[in-house]
Amino acid sequence: MVSRPSELAKSSYWSMFSNFSVLDLKKALHKCRKDNDQLLAFHVHVLLCELGLESQTTPGHHLTELFVEVGLLFRAIQVFNKLISARECSWNSLIRGFVKYGMAEQALSMYSEMKRGGSLHPNTDTYVALLQGCTMLKDIGNGTEIHSRLGELETDLFVGSTLISMYGKCGLLDKAHEVFVRIQKQNVVAWTALIAGYAEHGHGEIALKLYKKMQEAGICPNAITFVCILKACGALRATCSGQMIHAEVESKGLMQTNLFIGSAVVDMYAKFRLLEKAQDVFNKLSLRNSVSWNALISGYSNIRQDQRVLECFHRMCFESVFPDGITFACALKACGNLNDINTGHNIHTEIGERDPVKKQAFVCNALINMYAKSGSLLKAQQVFNSLPARDVVSWTALISGYAEHEHGEEALECFEQLKVKGLVPNAVTYICSLKACGAIGAVEKGEEIHTEIERRGLLEEGLVGSTLVDMYARCGSLTKAQQVLDTLSLRNVVSWTSLMAGYALIGKGEPVFANFSRMLSEGIQPNFITFVVLLNACTVSGLLNKSQTYFQAISKDFGIIPLLEHWTCMVNLLGCLGESINVENMVDKLSVIPDMVLWCSVLGACKNWGSLRFAEQVFENIGIN
């Protein structure tokens, strides 16, 4: 029994119960609910305990229901457990309370107990709560079982909409559609639940069709509908539809009154990669929270505008909007790309002060990735070692860092440890490990990984095939590299260029040119690296005319602006062939700012062919006396 503390006796609340009656109890219960008054609810509990009524069915039920309504769920459980005979309504009330406060597992467990009682049955509101719990947990097993018990309740608008939402969230879209069709009069809630399911599972086109049908049926979208359909437009990059829906939202005046819609519009334009428009919409929002900031920051992150990511991050903090895990992950990625270790370290310190964030796996993985990309491999290893649980993403971030910074042996050691721990490498893990093999010439290890990739059917996954070609080419196994390339159903510019680079590396020009012709015949456009490889092959083979043809084709035929690397290749070739006058002419025509590598190539040509006058001019240009 709960005893009444002495301070409660002095409380102004207690005077309400000096002449207690049933009417007083009803008034007190009504006041508790109306004002969401937890203290008064506690006083009612104390009084009922003193009167010995806490465990009685009727007062106990009212008390259970009251504690659920005012948010004191632990008290509701205490009272419920003391009831001599719990009514069906008490069970229902507590189940709904569990779902309301995010304790879906406990709600379903209590539902199982209720079924074992035999004579107890959930009411309509409880069925809705249970289905909502299944939606939270994506528990399709319990959800289907509950659905089977609904009978005609399935066609109830509220129950049916919740069913649609559950099936939609769990990816059973056909089932969701079946329920939708059986509802007699679909309202905006039912339509939105169905649209949300399709939008969430990558069926944006169907979501857009449903949205149009809903409007044709005379149903006006609500805020949630707009958020879902804007998300679908963003995923599809359906620019025209997205702009029309944005205009509709603006015409209803929802941009300034609904933060979620404003954030969804920002996110949509960011997904369209129209960041100026996203920024413009964002700037006009009267209210901004972490969701709207994250939409903008993620947009900049996706197009590698890393400086803008960090600017937004700092501005967000300045405006006292707390970053969440997504914000920190984007900011850390930007630091890694910019090699900004100082900002990255400061963000790491801030994360350490935020208990929920520092435990999020994807944030920890972003930290490892940031330190690894910046070359702080010891720090990356320390963060990795501090993780309570390491997943394949954590291991891959570490492997990538070691491979990228020429620590191939350490990368491959991590790859082996990952498998010893029982984790399964993903496509990115294989790519990083193959890069490590190529860097240190570990062709046997590369062949082992190749066999594993083939066994798991991952050869065509992302850049796995291209990286495999590159690994064999770097290790000098060009026959094997050619075989892998020929087996790929989709050959891209990366795989072709990797093979050509391998041949160029060992001084074989003809296979380079032959593979380039094959690549063009397959309709694949070269990139700037392809031309670096071609020009290097010409240099090794001493082919001046061919190199000039390729150099002119860079801009003339393929619309690529020649970069410093292309000019350097040409200077090297001309220097090797003794074309000192042509070297001078080429330097005069430079469309890029020369770096020290190019000037050294020019000076090398001057030295080889005794061009003292031009060498002096070069020294003047680079400021050496």
Q: pLDDT tens-digit profile of 78-119?
A: 666 666 566 677 778 888 888 888 889 989 998 888 888 766
pLDDT digits (tens, 9 = 90+) for 492-534: 999 999 999 999 989 899 999 999 999 999 999 999 999 999 9
Name the maximum alpha-carbon separation found in the chain.
Answer: 116
> Could you read off the pLDDT of 300-334 as tens digits, one per residue?
999 999 999 999 999 999 999 999 999 999 999 99
Confidence at residue 407, expressed as pLDDT on a 0 to 100 scale: 96
| Residue 621 pLDDT grade (very low, low, confident, very high; cuts 50, 70, 90) | low
- Judged by phi (left if over 0) then psi (alpha if -120 to 50, else beta), residue 465 lies in alpha
The pLDDT confidence band at residue 4, using thresholds 50, 70 and 90, is: very low
* Sign of the dihedral through C-alpha 432, 434, 440, 444: positive
Q: Which of 105, 80, 75 lies closest to 92, judged by CA? A: 80
Per-residue pLDDT tens digits for 413-462: 999 999 999 999 999 999 999 999 999 999 999 999 999 999 999 999 98
**Residue 525 CA to chain centroid, in angstroms?**
30
Instruction: Name the band, by pLDDT with cuts 50, 70 and 90, for residue 25.
Output: low
pLDDT of residue 8: 43
Asked whether residue 69 carries a pLDDT value surpassing 80, the answer given is no
- Give the C-alpha separation, 528 to 537, whole Å: 14
Query: What is the Cα Rg of the chain in Å?
Result: 34
How far is Cα 577 from Cα 570, in angstroms, rounded to an integer?
Answer: 11
Name the nearest CA neighbour of 333 among 360, 358, 359, 308: 308
Query: CA–CA distance from 149 to each of 71, 123, 169 (Å)?
Result: 29, 11, 20
Asked whether 162 and 190 are in contact (CB, 8 A), the reply is: no
Band (pLDDT 50/70/90 cuts) for residue 52 is low
pLDDT of residue 59: 64
Confidence tier at 7 by pLDDT (50, 70, 90): very low
pTM: 0.78
- What is the predicted pLDDT for the residue at 15? 47
Mean per-residue pLDDT, 150-178 = 94
* Mean pLDDT (whole number) for 163-175: 96
Residue 110: per-residue pLDDT: 85
Helices (H) and strands (E) in the chain, counts: 38, 0
Give the residue carrying structure tokens 């000096």: 18
Distances in Å between the Cα of 177 and the Cα atoms of 162, 209, 465 are: 12, 13, 40
Residues 6 or more apart from 293 whose CB is under 8 A from it? 312, 316, 321, 323, 327
Q: Which residues contact 306 (CB under 8 A, 6 or more apart)?
A: 300, 333, 334, 335, 337, 338
Nearest to 156 by CA among 187, 132, 198: 187
pLDDT value at residue 526: 95
Question: Is 493 exposed, middle or buried, given 0-12, 13-18 or 19+ CB atoms closer than 10 A?
Answer: middle
Give 562-612 pLDDT, tens digit per residue: 888 887 888 777 777 766 666 666 666 766 666 676 667 666 666 666 565
Dihedral over Cα of 56, 62, 65, 70: its sign: negative
Q: pLDDT tens, 226-261?
A: 999 999 999 999 999 999 999 999 999 998 889 999
User: What are the boundaries of each domain within the chain?
Assistant: 491-548, 563-625
Residue type, 605: A
Report how far residue 64's alpha carbon sits from residue 219's, in angstroms, rounded to the nearest whole number.
Answer: 39
Burial 571-587 (b: 16+ CB within 10 A, else e): bbbbbbbebbebbbebb
Cα 506-509-511 angle, rounded to 5 deg: 95
